[in-house]
Amino acid sequence: MKYAQTGTGSPAKDPTSKQQSLQQSVTEAMQRYFSDLDGQATHDLYDIVMAEVEPPLLKAVMAYTRQNQSRAAETLGLNRGTLRKKLKQYDLL
């Protein structure tokens, strides 16, 4: 079984072990993205990807923690202030 780091030094069971890994999903999505570009140049790719990935990640974690920002920040490994900034950035607060 796959394990993910919990930040406490102990591994946690990886819930994606029976499904396609997040890493594989990202790899395939990026391959499709580059294929769709059909040779055209792209810029600011990191910002583009983060703008697509962060909002659903934040929404999912906030739902998982029942809107508890302290628990969400801990789950994400972020400072609570950083989480609030990101929630505001994406109009999720």
- Range with the poorest average pLDDT among 6-10, 19-23, 58-62: 6-10
Contact assessment for residue 47 and residue 41, using Cβ atoms and an 8 Å cutoff? no
pTM of the model: 0.73
| Domain 43-93 = CATH 3.40.1190.10 | no
Over the stretch 44-76, which tens digit does the pLDDT of each residue have? 999 999 999 999 999 999 999 999 999 999 999
Q: 93 in helix, strand or coil?
A: coil
Q: Where are the domains of the chain?
A: 1-41, 43-93
Give the per-residue pLDDT at 1. 41
Per-residue pLDDT at 20: 82
Q: Model confidence over 28-40: pLDDT tens digits?
A: 999 999 999 999 9
For 91, the 3-state DSSP assignment is: coil
